[in-house]
Structures are given as C-alpha cells and as structure tokens.
Homo-oligomer: A and B are copies of this chain.
Amino acid sequence: MRHGPDIAPVAALIGDPARAAMLTALMDGCALTAGELAREAGVTAQTASGHLTKMEEAGLLVRRKQGRHRYVALAGDEVGRMLEAMMGVAAASGRTRTRTGPKEPALREARVCYDHLAGGQAVAMLRALIGREEIVEDGEGLTLTDAGAIRFESFGADLPTLRRARRPICRACLDWSERRFHLGGGLGAAVLTELYGRGWVKHEPGTRAVRFSNSGMALFRMPLGSKNRRQFIQVHPNETVP
C-alpha cells in the first residue's frame, strides 16, 4: 500500500502543457500578471484564469491583487526546488529541446532558481565551499561550518537573521543542467541578493538567465569577502569555466 502524500493531483496540474509553461515562466522568482502568463502559455485569458485558480488552490502559486492586475508568483522555494528536480528528470529523459537558441548556453552558465543562483557557476561555487569545508555534506543535507559562517558574514550575509528564519540556511538544490547540487536555502538567496546589490550579476529580462559582469565574475571567483588571491571557485585543471 502507498505511504506518503498523494502526488497525483499536483503532478496532474503540472502535466498540462499550458500550466507547465506558466510555472516554468515563474521559475525566475518574478511575479507575472495573468495576461502575461496567458500569452506565455499560448492560451486565451479565460483559459489561463482557470489554470491559475486551480494551481493556487493546490498551493503551487500565490496571487496578489494590485489595481486591475493580479500578480502571480510561485508559492515558495519548495515549489521551485520541485520544478528544478522535475527539469532534471525531464532533461535526462533524452528529450532534447529544440529550443536551442543562443540563450541556452547562458542559461546553463548562470540563472535564477526561484531566489538563488543556479547553473555552472552556482555548482562550482558549492563545490569550492565544500572543498574548503566551509560547507559540509552530512547525510542528505548541507551544514554551514564556523569557517563558512565567517566568510559569508564578511561577504554581507546577515547570518543571525537567517538563523532566526524558519527557512533552513543551507539547502542542497539539484541543478537540472549540471546534474549536481547547488546552494539554495536562505544562504543561497542571500548570496544572490548580494550579487545583485554589488552589481556583479544582472538579470536578463524575460528569461531565467543572469549575466555576470567582467569584474563581477573575477571577484566572484575569488573567495567571497576575502582579500587574498585564492580563487573562490577552485576549478580542476581540466575543467573550464568560461
């Protein structure tokens, strides 16, 4: 007999192409209006409205009324992580997307996963942190060490506030393009916020991609908040991060 929550209803919701397109469009963490989502999904406004109602009732979305618009966003990072995991499986299913375009490499390099950084750069960052034991893997989860806490505080993360929040500091989020984990959770979100604030990365409007500035990339690849020259992202010699 089955044990655990019934996943069929939520999966059936995501299984519709129009709804899946809407959810994918919301994966960058930005709120969109119902009309924008309707265009994104290629359906009429009334059809989209029905979809959004169902997904809100299922707890996948939140809607916020503002004037005569109604802004829609993912209900939380848990939804974002679920979608990212589903993308990983969908990518492994061998379904090569014909959506190749020049934006594809940029997406693999760096993008937003709900509220934190994803893509090759994010995976490399977590690997560097683990390599220096500033974050350690224990069992299925990630834990910030004292050395890591010092580094992130000097980078600008407000760790006391993060620790008080209900949300876990570190969360292992599976990256669909790299097939490895990157850093999510409150700390992952804080890093992306800081990257925005410092102007090291810029969000590409209408996509999930983010673009590093030249100086931002150079600084990001040094240890965050440190003044020495040791690379932040320690890449193995045979690997290249453009």
Contacts and interface: CB of A to CB of B under 8 A. Distances in A.
Interface of A: 1-17, 19-21, 23-25, 27, 40, 58-60, 76, 78-79, 81-83, 85-100, 103-104, 107, 139, 174, 176-177, 179, 206-209, 238
Contact of A3 (B4, B104, B238): B104
Copies of this chain per assembly: 2
Contact of A78 (B6, B20, B40, B88): B88
Contact of A6 (B25, B40, B79, B95): B95
A14 B83 CA distance: 13
A22 to B, nearest CB: 9
A76 B93 CA distance: 12
A59 B7 contact: no
Contacts of A4: 24, 27, 87, 94, 96-97, 107, 176-177, 208
B17 A15 contact: no
Most chain B CB within a 10 A radius of its CB, from A20, A76, A179: A20
Given A40-B1, A107-B3, A8 B25 contact: no
Nearest to A12: B15
A142 to B, nearest CB: 14
Nearest to A92: B59
* Best-surrounded residue of A9, A10, A40, A107 (most CB of chain B within 10 A): A10
Contact of A7 (B2, B24, B107): B24
B15 A8 contact: yes
Given A8-B17, A8-B20, A10-B90, A174 B97 contact: no
A12 B7 CA distance: 11
Given A88-B82, A92-B78, A97 B5 contact: yes
